[in-house]
Structure 1
Amino acid sequence: MSERIKDTASRLAQPILEEMNLELIDVEYKKEGKNWFLRVFIDGEKGVDIEDCGKVSERLSEQLDKEDPIQGMYYLEVSSPGAERPLKNDKDIARSIGKHVYVTTYEAIDGEKAFEGLLKDFDGETLTIEGKVKQKTVTYTVPYNKVAKARLAIQF
């Protein structure tokens, strides 16, 4: 049921976002305490602001009311995925070349399961990450099929 609701929200949001030159990053539908939340995460070339989120929320709410895919009460939240946005697919990773990333893997690679640093390259099969270990620059080669999670990371 949750997947059907997420799919419906994605389908309804897509034309709204395309018209506004924005991109759908993720959709969540989950219960927190007694309340259900439908969260839609959006982004754009230059980020998104509160106005963008408000416009998408208003228009998506109208579409959801028409189609009525959710039984009972829920809260709709439209927001940016934040500074540490998840990289959900190969397209997200490719767009993140030159940015600081944090990647975890399903299994250890050279004894490590977590890699952080500058994403230098992604050829569709391998991520090349340049990081620091004890003040030394190291280069990690991470097979894409071993990536469990990837996100942008704030560099300090």
Structure 2
Amino acid sequence: MALVEPVIARESYELIAAEYIVERGRAVLRLFIDTIPPSTPERGVSVEDCTTVSRLVSDLLDVEDVIPSEYNLEVSSPGMFRPLTKPAHFERALGERVRIKTYEKLEGRKAFTGKLEAHGENEVHVVLDDGSR
């Protein structure tokens, strides 16, 4: 979504994640945004914020015509369980409780929950809820 990120950033929002899926035979482009700097508990992403970004992105995608078929555009806050997709997201989440899902099983499972202790380019260190690492 390199096309929309600069447009969103100019309006003081950050694109947290994007997904393009087909639901019930209909294409849906979902964008999850946050404010810059990231929202505090007192100020989250509002409906007006989502409307602003939706209009900007819709206009841009209509002009650029990068999605050839009909689709629905949905813009929302990432919510409480925001995805960590960029190094800055991991940095902000240090010391926080996170849920990690892996593609392949590690020690017999794919889902882990615990406190994010550290992160690197290709690794994360989590103190799991059971106390293990």
Give yes or no for TM over 0.5.
yes
Corresponding residue number in structure 1 for 2:60: 63
Contact 2:115 2:129 in 1 (8 A): no
Count residues with an aligned counterpart.
126
What's the RMSD between the two structures over aligned residues?
A: 2.1
Aligned to 2:23: 32
Is the partner of 1:63 in helix, strand or coil? helix
Distance 2:110 2:66 in 1: 39
Deviation at 1:113, TM superposition (A): 4.1
SS at match of 1:83: coil
- Identity among equivalent pairs (%): 37
Q: Is the contact made by 1:128 and 1:139 (CA closer than 8 Å) also made in structure 2?
A: no
Q: 1:120 to 1:72 in 2, by over 3 A?
A: closer
Using the size of structure 2 for normalisation, the TM-score is 0.79
Task: Tell me the equivalent position of 2:106.
Answer: 108
Runs of 5+ consecutive residues of structure 1 not aligned to the other structure: 1-9, 141-156
TM-score by length of 1: 0.69
Evaluate the alpha carbon distance shift between residue 108 and residue 71 of structure 1 in structure 2; reply closer, same or farther with a 3 A threshold: closer
Cα deviation, residue 57, structure 1: 0.4
Counterpart of 1:53 in structure 2 is 50
Say which is worse superposed, 75-84 or 12-21, in terms of deviation: 12-21
After TM superposition, give the deviation of residue 125 of structure 1 in Å.
5.2
Highest CA radius of gyration, 1 or 2?
Answer: 1
Residue 116 of structure 2 aligns to which amino acid in structure 1?
Answer: L
Provide structure 2 residue ranges, at least 5 long, that are not aligned to the other structure: none
Contact persistence 1:119–1:127 (CA under 8 A): yes
Shift of 1:96: 1.0
